[in-house]
Amino acid sequence: MLRIGMLTSGGDCQALNAAMRGVVKGICSKRDDVEIYGFQEGYKGLIYSNFKMLTSRDFSGILTLGGTILGTSRQPFKLMRVPDENGLDKVEAMKHTYHKLNLDCLVILGGNGTHKTANMLREEGLNIITLPKTIDNDLWGTDMTFGFQSAVDIATDTIDKIHTTATSHSRVFIIEVMGHKVGWVTLHAGIAGGADIILLPEIPYDTDVVVDAINKRKAAGKRFTIIAVAEGAISKKDSKLSKKELKEKQEKKKYPSVAYEVAERIQKRTEQEVRITVPGHMQRGGSPCPYDRVLSTRLGAAAAEAILDGDFGKMMGVKNGDIVRVPLAEVAGKLKYVDPDSDIIKEARMTGISFGDK
C-alpha cells in the first residue's frame, strides 16, 4: 500500500487542483494500491489531524477549477515552533499525524513560506515532495510557478480595459498589481498591457522621474498615462530608510496601499486627474489559463514519478522548459527577484517604458 498525504498551503492560486490531479493521475496510472489523505486547510490539517480520505475520482473534472478542493490557510513559519493556545507543539503534532497514519510521503503545494516549513519537515525525517504554487513567481529554483501566467492574464486584461476609459477622460491611471515583494506579475502584465510606466520593488522609483514621464506624454499629445505599480514598489527615498523608519513612516501615512501613495505624490504635479484601480484577489481567482493547466499537469506528473522513484526532499521545478527535481534545502528561504539588469528590462526600456528610475 502507498499512503500519500496531500495539502495546499498559503495564498491560493489558479491550477492548484490541476496540479493535484496531475499527481493522483500519475500515481494511479502505475499503482492501484494507493491511499490518499487530503489534509484540510494547509498545515492546519496536518497539525490537528483533520483530513479526508480521497480517491482518484475526487480528482476527476477539476482541471479547470480555480481555488483548492482541500482549502488552504497561512501558517507562518516563524510561528511553527510556537505552541498553540492549548500548548500543542505544532511541529511534533505534524510528525505525529504523519507517523500515526503511516504515510509514505507528503505532497505539499505552496509558495515561499510553505517551502520553509516543508524543508523543516524534511529535516525532521518526513518524506516530502513539493510543487511550486504562487502567482508571485518568486520561488527560488524554478523558472516558473503555476498561477503566475493566469494572474498575468487577469492583470493584463485589467490594464487593457483601463486604457479605453483613461483615453476617454484624458486621465492618469495607476493599476496596482499583486506580487508581494517582487515585480514579476507587474512586469509581465505591464509589458503585455502596454503600460507607459512600470514601478517594481526591484527598481526603486524617483517621483520626479515619474512626473516628468507623465508630463512629457501629455506635452506630446498623448491623452493618458497608464502606470502599472507592483504592490511592493518603493520610492528611492524610502528604500534608503531602515525597516524601522519605513514602518514608522507608513504607520503615520496609513495609505490603503501603494497605489494611493504614488497617486498622492504625483497628483499635485500633473494637470491630469489621477485614478486608481486595484484588481486585488481577482488576480488569484477563477480558472487557470491553458499555460498553467499544462505546467501544473506536468509538475504533478513529475511529482508522481519522484514519489514512485522514492526520491524525496525535492521540489518539482522548471528549468529551460524541462521539469527538474530541486533539493528543498536549496529552495527554502530564498526569493527569486526580477533582475534590474536582465534582458527583459532592457527590452522594455527600449520600447519606451519608464521604470521611474532615470
Among 116, 133, 284, 325, binds ligand F6P (CB under 6 A): 284
Q: Is 111 within any annotated ligand binding site?
A: yes
- The verdict on whether residue 1 carries a ligand-binding annotation is no
Task: Please enumerate in sequence order all residues whose Cβ is within 8 A of that of 33, keeping only pairs 6 or more positions apart, or say none.
Answer: 1, 2
Torsion-angle region of 169 (φ positive above 0: left; ψ -120 to 50: alpha; else: beta): alpha
The answer to the question of residue 45 lying near ligand F6P (CB under 6 A) is no
User: Is 178 an interacting residue with respect to ligand F6P (CB under 6 A)?
Assistant: yes
Is residue 44 a contact point for ligand F6P (CB under 6 A)?
no
Q: Which span sits near ligand F6P by CB under 6 A: 161-169, 173-181, 187-195, 295-303?
A: 173-181
Residue whose C-alpha is closest to residue 228's, from 292, 169, 151: 151
From 116, 180, 188, 314, residue interacting with ligand F6P (rule: CB under 6 A): 180
128-157 positions binding ligand F6P, by CB under 6 A: 134-136
Other Cβ atoms closer than 10 A to 265 = 16
- Whether 20 has a binding-site annotation, put simply, is no
The reply to whether 282 sits in an annotated binding site is yes
Q: Between 75 and 104, how does the x/- string for binding to ligand F6P read (CB under 6 A)?
A: ------------------------------
CB of 147 to ligand F6P, least distance (A): 8
Cell numbers representing residue 11 in the block? 495564498
Residue 179 or 201 with smaller CB distance to ligand F6P? 179
- Closest separation between CB of residue 227 and ligand F6P, Å? 18
Give the angle 294-297-298 at the CA atoms, nearest 5°. Answer: 85
Of 26, 38, 111, 132, which one interacts with ligand F6P (CB under 6 A)?
A: 111
Alpha-carbon gap, residue 101 to 117, rounded angstroms? 20
- Helix (H) or strand (E) holding 296, with range, is helix 290-309
Q: What does the alpha-carbon distance between residue 190 and residue 201 come to, in Å, rounded to a whole number?
A: 14
Q: At 351, list the grid cell.
A: 520600447
Bridge partners, residue 24, by sequence: none
Residue 320 marked in a binding site: no
Extended beta strands in the chain, E state: 2-8, 34-39, 51-54, 105-110, 128-132, 172-177, 197-199, 225-230, 274-277, 314-319, 322-327
Nearer to ligand F6P, 231 or 261 (CB): 231
Which range touches ligand F6P (CB under 6 A), out of 82-90, 172-180, 269-277, 347-355? Answer: 172-180
The reply on whether position 11 binds ligand F6P by CB under 6 A is: yes
- CA torsion angle 195 201 202 207 (round to 10): 70
Radius of gyration of the chain (CA): 22
Query: What is the rounded distance in angstroms from the CA atom of residue 116 to the CA atom of residue 334?
Result: 9
125: left (phi over 0), alpha (psi -120 to 50) or beta: left
231 is known to lie in a ligand binding site: yes
Active site residue 136: yes
Residue with Cβ nearer ligand F6P (272 or 277) = 277
d(CA 123, CA 329): 9
> Toward ligand F6P, which CB reaches closer, 135 or 274?
135
| Active-site choice (89, 104, 136, 138) | 136
73/270 with CB nearer ligand F6P: 73
277: how many CB neighbours lie within 10 A of its CB? 18
Provide the β-strand partners of residue 53.
Answer: 37
Closest residue to ligand F6P, judged by C-beta, is 178
CB of 88 to ligand F6P, least distance (A): 24
Residues of each annotated binding site for substrate: 134-136, 171, 178-180, 231, 275, 281-284
Q: Which residues bind ligand F6P (CB under 6 A)?
A: 11, 111, 134-136, 178-180, 231, 284
Residues of each annotated binding site: 11, 74-75, 111-114, 134-136, 171, 178-180, 231, 275, 281-284
Residues of each annotated binding site for Mg(2+): 112
Give catalytic residues, as residue numbers.
136
